[in-house]
DNA sequence: CTGGGGAAGGGGCCC
DNA sequence: AGGGCCCCTTCCCCA
């Protein structure tokens, strides 16, 4: 009876809105006028609550340029129907608008939508790397009450008994810092049981706060770390498995990476719709435009920086190291990794840490890994070194080194490789092998 | 158990 | 807009 009553009441209000009956509030979005009921907006949005609390109602209550009329239509329809019409094309802007309007429930639906779309939720489940899109991408359009209910069920399942966003959330003043708002959200997120099994989910990252960004307890922060742990764990497993198993794993990883990259591209495609945040909305007193991450409260000055930042949410790693298959979010990180790990660029003796030169620092190969040792240490250890010119990046071919043992990180055993790899290195040249951004779909497996 | 070093990863910003 | 550099933080490994 209660539900029926609520549903009926909402229908009545929506009908009144459509007929512009008793509408006492006007919202101007990029020149388009929306009519609504003040009390409904007040009850649904922290932003409107703040706005409408500030004294006598003006004729036009709010003007927005931060999101499009289409986006506000989606938001308003949700307020009056409980149905959120999400698609891959609008989810980013809806989420950003919801963040602006302080509508946590909408944010939650959006993040679930994105999470499902990105298929990150399964990323760290059980066996680290068994990613298959078919398992999770069940989230289609959220339009329709049934879908909406599914979302809610999905959310409730994730929360496993934790309460829905408390009304108290809306009582926060807009003048509060972002951390206040999102911090609260983060608290809720932390309480989610899903966070334990799925620390990498963007849903868990959503509430991350700028100030807490480097907090090790911040679920957002765990993403790259767990990613790394995953990588290392996988590497260690590799050591005990056959090369064929390695290739199978690589296939799976790259398959997942491909899907992730595609989804990320979808996100990036909608980037122009990611609204800038006016200065007063963040800590910058300068009212300049900033770009807000839809997954967390982080804001950046440039869209390119936002795109870069988004990779830490999407898990996209477009730069694979051809020597060890480790993937990186940035070319510079790949280059740095490659030079350090596979090219022995550091002119320091690995053993005694003394300074060496290109000439005095003998290069030692350990799997795909290379480093330098001084003459004294190399004698002590009793291993040979490879000629210096084998390190020329232009003639280096790290991928071939995979055949040695496919191992990048040390697996505990110190096998001092005596490698005369000039021939191997010369087999396939091209520095672009090192720094090439790989489209996974075309990526040639080794 | 602890501290140091290496590696990775993220942000700001310049070109 | 992308590339690149610098700086900082964090994590992991090892002595």
Structure tokens at A171: 């009582």
Structure tokens at A167: 């009304």
Q: Which nucleotide is nearest to A216 (CA to C1')?
A: C10
Given the DSSP bridges, would you call strands A25-29 and A32-36 parallel, antiparallel or unpaired?
A: antiparallel
Beta bridge partners of A25: A36
- Cα(A243)–Cα(A245) distance, integer angstroms: 5
Structure tokens at A84: 């959120």
Beta bridge partners of A386: A363
Helix (H, G, I), strand (E, B) or coil at A249: helix
Residue whose Cα is closest to the C1' of B7: A337
- Cα(A8)–Cα(A222) distance, integer angstroms: 44
CATH T-level topology, domain A3-118 = Potassium Channel Kv1.1; Chain A (3.30.710)
Nucleotides of B under 7 A from a protein CB: 5-14
* CA quadruple A309, A311, A312, A318: dihedral sign: negative
Contacts of strand B, CB cut-off 7 Å? A 213, 223-224, 227-228, 231, 298, 300-302, 305, 308-309, 311-312, 326, 328-330, 333, 336-337, 340-341, 346, 348, 353, 371
Q: What pLDDT score was predicted for residue A78?
A: 92
Is strand C less than 7 A from the beta carbon of A265?
Answer: no
User: CB A42: neighbour CB atoms within 10 A?
Assistant: 17
Is strand C less than 7 A from the beta carbon of A129?
Answer: no
Distance, Å, A107 CA → B1 C1': 44
Nucleotides of C under 7 A from a protein CB: 1-6, 9-14
Chain A span 72-111 residues with beta carbon within 7 Å of strand C: none
Residue whose Cα is closest to the C1' of C12: A229
Q: What pLDDT score was predicted for residue A444?
A: 34
Residues near A370 by beta carbon (within 8 Å), at least 6 away in sequence? A341, A342, A343, A344, A363, A364, A386, A391
Structure tokens at A255: 């398959």
Q: Which nucleotide is nearest to A268 (CA to C1')?
A: C1
Query: CA angle, corner A247, sides to A243 and A248, nearest 5?
Result: 115
Is strand C less than 7 A from the beta carbon of A338?
Answer: no
Distance, Å, A382 CA → B3 C1': 30
Is strand C less than 7 A from the beta carbon of A301?
Answer: no
The answer to whether A401 and A233 have CB atoms below 8 angstroms apart is no
Q: Give the distance, in angstroms, between the CA of residue A352 and the centroid of all CA atoms in the same chain.
A: 40
CA neighbor of A408 nearest in space, from A337, A345, A318: A337
Q: What pLDDT score was predicted for residue A26?
A: 84
Structure tokens at A411: 């697996």
Q: Which nucleotide is nearest to A327 (CA to C1')?
A: B8
Q: So where are chain A's domains? A: 3-118, 347-382
Distance, Å, A220 CA → C10 C1': 13
Which residues, given as ranges, of chain A have pLDDT below 70?
A: 54-62, 65-66, 115, 117-258, 266-289, 383-446
pTM above 0.75, yes or no: no
CA neighbor of A151 nearest in space, from A123, A186, A184, A116: A116
The answer to whether A293 and A309 have CB atoms below 8 angstroms apart is yes
Q: What pLDDT score was predicted for residue A77?
A: 92
């Amino acid at each position: 009876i209660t539900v029926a009553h609520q549903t009926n009441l909402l229908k009545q209000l929506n009908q009144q809105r459509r007929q512009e009956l008793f509408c006492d509030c006007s919202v101007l979005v990029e020149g388009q006028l929306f009519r609504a009921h003040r009390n409904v907006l007040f009850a649904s949005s922290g932003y409107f609550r703040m706005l409408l609390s500030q004294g006598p109602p003006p004729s036009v209550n709010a003007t927005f340029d931060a999101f499009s009329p289409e986006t506000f239509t989606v938001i308003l329809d949700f307020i009056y129907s409980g149905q959120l019409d999400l698609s891959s094309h609008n989810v980013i802007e809806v989420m950003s608008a919801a963040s602006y309007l302080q509508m946590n429930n909408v944010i939650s639906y959006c993040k679930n939508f994105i999470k499902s779309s990105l298929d990150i939720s399964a990323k760290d489940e059980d066996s680290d790397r068994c990613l298959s899109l078919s398992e999770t991408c069940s989230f289609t359009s959220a339009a329709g009450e049934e879908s909406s209910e599914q979302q809610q069920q999905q959310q409730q399942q994730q929360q496993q008994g934790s309460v829905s966003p408390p009304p108290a959330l809306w009582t926060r003043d807009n003048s509060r810092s972002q951390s206040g708002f999102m911090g609260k959200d983060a608290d809720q997120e932390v309480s989610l049981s899903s966070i334990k099994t799925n620390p990498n989910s963007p849903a868990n990252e959503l509430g991350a706060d700028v100030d807490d960004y480097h907090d090790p307890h911040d679920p957002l922060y765990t993403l790259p770390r767990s990613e790394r742990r995953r990588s290392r764990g996988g590497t260690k497993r590799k050591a005990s498995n056959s090369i064929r198993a390695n290739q199978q794993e690589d296939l799976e990883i790259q398959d997942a990476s491909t899907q992730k990259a595609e989804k990320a591209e979808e996100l990036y495609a909608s980037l122009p719709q990611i609204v800038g945040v006016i200065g007063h909305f963040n800590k910058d007193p300068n009212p300049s435009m900033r770009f807000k991450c839809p997954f967390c409260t982080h804001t950046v000055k440039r869209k390119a920086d936002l795109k870069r930042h988004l990779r830490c949410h999407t898990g996209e790693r477009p730069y694979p190291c051809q020597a060890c298959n480790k993937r990186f979010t940035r070319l510079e990180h790949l280059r740095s990794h490659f030079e350090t790990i596979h090219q022995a660029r550091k002119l320091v003796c690995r053993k005694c840490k003394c300074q060496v030169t290109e000439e005095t620092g003998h290069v030692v190969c350990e799997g795909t890994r290379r480093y330098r040792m001084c003459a004294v240490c190399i004698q002590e250890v009793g291993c040979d070194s490879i000629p210096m010119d084998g390190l020329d990046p232009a003639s280096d071919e790290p991928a071939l080194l995979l055949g040695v043992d496919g191992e990048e990180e040390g697996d505990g055993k110190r096998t001092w490789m005596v490698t005369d790899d000039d021939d191997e290195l010369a087999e396939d040249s091209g520095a672009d092998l090192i720094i090439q951004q790989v489209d996974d779909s075309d990526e040639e497996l080794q």
